[in-house]
Structures are given as C-alpha cells and as structure tokens.
Structure 1
Amino acid sequence: MSSEEKRSWIYVLVAVSVSAVYFATVLSKVAGADVARIAYVRPMLIAIGAGIGLGIVASIAAAIASPREAGRTDERDRQIHRLGEYVGFYVMSIAAIVPLALTMAQAAHFWIANALYLAFLLAALASSITKIILYRRGF
C-alpha cells in the first residue's frame, strides 16, 4: 500500500470518527430545544481542530512505520490524487447548495453551520473514498 493510499484511509477514518462524535454530541441536544440556544460553535471548532491534529499525527505515525514509502509518489499517485480532488470539489459544489438555501430561507445559524460542516465532510469523504477505490481497482 502506497503512502498516499494510507493517507486516504487515515483521512476517512479520522473524518468519520471525529464528525460522528461531533454530530452525536450536538444533535443529541436538538430534540425539544431551541436551536438558537445550543452551543455548537466550540464543539465544531474542537472537532475541526481534532480532525486536523489527528490527521497530521496519524500521517506522521504512518510515515514513521514505513519510512521507505513516505513521500514517494509517482505519476499514478498524482493522477489519482487529482481525480480524487476533482470529485471532492464537485461534491462540495453540489453540497454547498444546502447551506446557501438555508441562508436564503433565513434558517437558524445552527442549521446553516452544520449543513456547511456536513458539506465539507461529504466532500472530504468523497475525495478520499474515490482515491481508495482507484488504488484498489486500478487506474
């Protein structure tokens, strides 16, 4: 497994686990509550920071575990990375319609922020999963 494929797996695992904890924590408070009073900003910032930090730490750990492969890329890796990023871009472009529509409908900031966070999550997952599929099935 190449280092780029490992990074994609790390990104999927970190993104899913951190966002699952965030959404479980924040959305558990929604039932019967005024969403304007739910403190979501700090947990969201913590989730974003934890995702970035855990991704960096896990990538460094993977590079230390297999130092020969770390940083080595070839043309196939670059093409897979580019295609994965294109997929992520298109998913983000489509998913961003939801927070935009919520803003136009003057929805609560809670829903707009969480829809935008979900759009970023979906884009990251689509990008990483595309890369994993291309590595596994061939490019």
Structure 2
Amino acid sequence: MVFEERNVWAGLIVSVLVIPAYIVIVLQQAASTPVTEIDWLPPMLWTIGVGIVATIVVSVVWGIVAGARDPDGVGRSDIRDRDISRMGGRVEQAFLVIAGLAVIALCAIGADLFWIANTMFAGFAVSAVIGSVARVVAYRRGLV
C-alpha cells in the first residue's frame, strides 16, 4: 500500500469513528433539550480537532510500521496517486457544493444556527467519507 493510500485509509477510519460520536453526543442532548438550545459548538469543535489529530497520529504510526517493513517504498508517490487525489477532490467538492447550497437555503428561510451549522458539518463529513471511499475504490479498481 502506497503512502497516499495509507493516508486516505487513515482519514476514512478516523472519520467513521468520530462522526458517529458527535451524532451520539448531540442526540443525547436532544433527548432532554429542545434542538435549538443544544450546546453544539464545543462537541463539534472537539470532534473536528480530535479527527484531525487522530488522522495524523494514525498516518504517522502506520507510516512507521510500513517503513519498517519496506523502507524503500514508504514515501513514494507517482502520477496515479496525483490523479486519484484529484478525482477524490472533485467528488468531495461536489458534496461540499450541495451542503453549501443547503446552508444558503437555510439562511434564506431564517433557520436556527443549530441547523445551519450542523448542515455544513454534515456536508464536510459526507464529503470526507465519500471522497475517501472514491479514492479507495480508485486505488483498488483503478481510474476509468
């Protein structure tokens, strides 16, 4: 597995763990508090921060293990990696645009900040997961 693919997997694994954690925290608050009064900002910021740090840690540890097994190929990238990264970025961008349009619509109707922020957060989360899945599929099946 090449350097870029390991990083994609690290991000995907962490995303699949931290995003549901945020959802659970918010739903626990929603059980006893009206949605518009939920204190969503600290859990959201912690989720983003933990996700970034955990992805870096997983990538570094995985890289060290891979480097011990194959010291020559640990950091190699080629044109295929660049093409897969670009394709994944396009997929991610499409979902971010959809989320951005949804946020604009929510702003237009005067929705509560909870809905606006969580719609954007969901857009980021979905784009990260779908973009990573697209990259993994491209690594496994190739670009068509």
**TM over 0.5, shorter chain:** yes
Q: Name the TM-score class by shorter chain.
A: over 0.9
Residue equivalent to 1:23 = 23
- Residue 59 of structure 1 pairs with residue 59 of structure 2: yes
Q: Is the 8 A contact 2:11 2:55 kept in 1?
A: yes
Please give the alpha-carbon distance, in whole angstroms, between the structure 2 residues aligned to 1:70 and 1:19.
29
Q: Secondary structure in 1 aligned to 2:75?
A: coil
Give the TM-score, by structure 1 length.
Answer: 0.93
Q: How does 1:26-105 map to 2 (within 5 A)?
A: 26-31=26-31, 33-67=33-67, 68=71, 69-105=73-109
Q: Deviations over 1:30-54 (max 9, x none)?
A: 2463223211111111000000000
Q: Is the 8 A contact 1:84 1:128 kept in 2?
A: yes
Consecutive aligned runs of 4 or more in structure 1 exceeding 6 Å deviation: none
- Give aligned-pair identity as a percent: 37
Q: 1:9 to 1:93 in 2, by over 3 A?
A: same
Q: Is the 8 A contact 2:15 2:125 kept in 1?
A: yes
Q: Is the 8 A contact 2:11 2:132 kept in 1?
A: yes
Please give the alpha-carbon distance, in whole angstroms, between the structure 2 residues aligned to 1:3 and 1:71.
5
Please give the alpha-carbon distance, in whole angstroms, between the structure 2 residues aligned to 1:70 and 1:94.
36
**Structure 1 residue runs without a partner (length 5+):** none
Read off the aligned partner of 1:103 and give its amino acid letter: C
Aligned residues: 139
Please give the alpha-carbon distance, in whole angstroms, between the structure 2 residues aligned to 1:96 and 1:28.
27
Please give the alpha-carbon distance, in whole angstroms, between the structure 2 residues aligned to 1:36 and 1:23.
15
Give the TM-score, by structure 2 length.
Answer: 0.90
**Structure 2 residue runs without a partner (length 5+):** none
Compute the RMSD of aligned alpha carbons: 1.3
Residue equivalent to 1:111 = 115
Please give the alpha-carbon distance, in whole angstroms, between the structure 1 residues aligned to 2:141 and 2:129.
18
1:4 CA drift (Å): 1.2
Q: Deviations over 1:47-98 (max 9, x none)?
A: 0000000000001011101123332101111111111111111111122222
